[in-house]
Amino acid sequence: MESVYALATGYLLGSSPFGLVLTRLFNAGDLRQIGSGSIGATNVLRTGRKGLAAATVLLDAGKGVLAVLLAAKFWPGTEGLAAIAAIVGHCFPVWLKFKGGKGFATAAGVLGALSWPVLLICAAVWALALALSRISSVSSLSATAAAPVFAWWTGQPALAGVMVVIALIVFFQHRANIARLRAGTEPRIGQKG
């Protein structure tokens, strides 16, 4: 039952659509009708409200952190399940007909709660990829792919397994971005597309 509780808690926390709530609360439009239709921070940024986008990043990461910390406190050993469930909840929230965000900020949150040193390494990968490509999806995907590699490298095979599952979900959610990258049509930072 502890695993069930951790999964349910992770999913419910992850499915909190902060981007959608914030943009509605501050009259910035319906995110599902803007840009990619995603409820994540990148799409919030398309409303022109940088503050709301920053708040969305923090809240989406925070719900991942909270899912892992609650699992650690009440159901020790289920932190990985709670982390995966939080990503699933963010990407496929039941309240929004299973159409949510792409999972990167929440993935960063759960990784930070599970292993902050690995998060710091992945943050460096993210920053380097962004500096070189100037493409948001490239930096997100690079950091996501690096997470299981560095988890394994730092002697955390269980974390590496969790991050492989999370990476698969995040990559699936970025499938349209990947298609545009292959076609050479993915917009760069500051470029309309």
- Answering whether pTM is above 0.75, one says yes
Q: Which tokens is 40 given?
A: 């994540």
Residue 184: φ, ψ to 5°: 75, 20
Residue 43 confidence class, pLDDT cut points 50, 70, 90 = confident
One DSSP character per residue, 46-94 reads: TTT-HHHHHHHHHHHHHHHHHHHHHHHHHSTT-HHHHHHHHHHHHHS-G
Give mean pLDDT, residues 101-128.
96
Residue 17 CA: distances (Å) to CA of 4, 123, 176: 22, 24, 21
| pLDDT of 46 higher than 90 | no
pLDDT digits (tens, 9 = 90+) for 165-176: 999 999 999 999
Residue 44 confidence class, pLDDT cut points 50, 70, 90 = confident
Residue 37 confidence class, pLDDT cut points 50, 70, 90 = confident
